[in-house]
């Protein structure tokens, strides 16, 4: 029997629930232990209130984030909302653990608290239900400073903590599409910073090498396994050039026309390495060793032992060709292949021209 995954509520819904509990206390003198909230898609949510208390000029409410079966890093975190009835407009403030916007390209202007439009609208709706025009709403997530280090926020330009997020207020277990879409804002931020050449890295290895090669951090884009999806997103935004920089075990799949690189989707690493090596003259017995290898790193040792490092350039060329074809020539693509140890194995001519170097010019990274 297929398991039905539980949903939850977003940090934005937690904050809106906090505002509702605070206004209930301030206007009716009643401390509640749960509130009903209508999400922006019409879903009715019942959100428990962990703590509500009156302060000198307002109220403070704590709500515990519940993510259901979604692997959300904020699950169990406290979202604390302090509310004061004041003035004729709703003013949003970032408390401890909630960041500020420091780069253009996001949904909010630079300098604004990282409280996204969805949560802001939820809070406005709550205020309207109470016929309250003016509020000062400060949102804190005490664990947010540390949790933000495990997100893309530093890359996106959200400094000081987490974003208070949620399109509707309802948190449903993340689909693959939702995860892919969460990667795209990196492109918007990089474009807003003036970059026209972006460095796509499928993981930390590629990012480390890209930084060592001197690429600007603000131009480095994490793609995870979704290289094809991110190329299409870049093409839709008229990106001029993409440099793919990553471990050979990931990018060799692109040479075979595989643009979703998770090993459960497709895996032709060894077959592709074997085919290109055979084309460059690798003896049949060693071709079979590559096919029998456990990893791309093991296969690379066989290639290197035979002095066939030129294979990597051929593969890099093919990666770029396949990627350009994938987006119908809308983007110029260059490719840099690396290994776990931090060596640049191969570049195609486009990458060499762009960075003005060849693999032989890259020294081994320093060892501690």
* pLDDT one-digit tens code per residue, 270-285: 999 999 999 999 999 9
Q: How far is CA 114 from the centre of its chain?
A: 16
Residue ranges of the chain with pLDDT lower than 50?
1-2, 359-368
Q: Strands, DSSP E only, in 120-277?
A: 135-140, 158-159, 170-171, 197-201, 220-222, 241-247
pLDDT value at position 205?
84
Instruction: Count the neighbouring beta carbons within 10 Å of the beta carbon of residue 229.
Output: 19
Chain mean position to CA 19: 29
pLDDT score recorded for residue 4: 57
3-state secondary structure of 13: helix
Q: Would you say domain 8-171 falls under CATH 3.30.2110.10?
A: yes
Which of 63, 61, 37 minimizes the C-alpha distance to 48?
63
* Whole-prediction pTM: 0.70
Domain ranges within the chain, ordered by starting residue: 8-171, 176-361
**For residue range 292-302, what is the model confidence (pLDDT) as tens digits?**
988 898 899 99
Supply the pLDDT for residue 177: 73
pLDDT confidence of residue 147: 94
* pLDDT for the residue numbered 14: 96
Q: Residue 268's closest CA among 255, 286, 287?
A: 255
Phi and psi, residue 327, nearest 5°: -105, 25
CB atoms inside a 10 Å sphere around CB 38: 15
- C-alpha 116/C-alpha 129 separation (Å) is 21
* Closest among 172, 178, 136 to 41, alpha carbons compared: 172
Q: What pLDDT was estimated at residue 220?
A: 95
């Amino acid at each position: 029997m297929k398991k039905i995954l539980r949903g939850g509520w977003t940090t934005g819904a937690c904050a809106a629930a906090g505002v509702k509990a605070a206004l209930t206390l301030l206007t009716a003198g009643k401390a509640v232990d749960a509130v009903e909230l209508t999400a922006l898609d019409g879903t009715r949510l019942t959100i428990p209130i962990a703590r509500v208390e009156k302060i000198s000029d307002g109220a403070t409410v704590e709500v515990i984030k519940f993510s259901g079966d979604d692997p959300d890093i904020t699950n169990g975190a406290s979202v604390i909302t302090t509310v004061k009835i004041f003035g004729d407009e709703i003013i949003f403030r970032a408390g401890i653990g909630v960041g500020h916007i420091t780069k253009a390209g996001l949904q909010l202007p630079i300098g604004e608290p990282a409280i996204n439009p969805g949560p802001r609208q939820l809070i406005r709706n709550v205020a309207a239900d109470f016929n309250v025009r003016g509020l000062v709403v400060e949102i804190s997530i005490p664990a947010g400073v540390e949790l933000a280090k495990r997100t893309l926020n530093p890359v996106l330009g959200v400094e000081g903590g987490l974003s208070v997020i949620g399109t509707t207020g309802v948190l449903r277990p993340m689909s693959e599409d939702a995860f892919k879409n969460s990667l795209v804002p990196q492109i918007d931020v990089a474009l807003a910073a003036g970059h026209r050449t972006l460095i796509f890295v499928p993981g930390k290895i590629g990012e480390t090498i890209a930084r060592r090669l001197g690429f600007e951090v603000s131009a480095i884009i994490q793609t995870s396994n979704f290289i094809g999806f991110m190329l299409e997103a870049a093409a839709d935004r008229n990106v001029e050039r993409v440099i793919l920089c990553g471990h050979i075990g990931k990018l060799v799949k692109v040479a075979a026309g595989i643009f979703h690189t998770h090993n459960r989707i497709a895996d032709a690493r060894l077959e592709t390495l074997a085919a290109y090596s055979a084309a460059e003259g690798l003896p049949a017995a060693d071709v079979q060793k590559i096919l029998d290898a456990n990893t791309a790193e093991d296969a690379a040792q066989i290639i290197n032992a035979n002095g066939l490092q030129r294979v990597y350039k051929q593969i890099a060329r093919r990666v770029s060709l396949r990627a350009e074809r994938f987006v119908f020539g809308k983007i110029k693509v260059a490719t840099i292949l690396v290994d776990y140890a931090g060596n640049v194995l191969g570049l195609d001519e486009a990458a060499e021209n762009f960075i003005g170097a060849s693999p032989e010019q890259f020294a081994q990274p320093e060892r501690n």
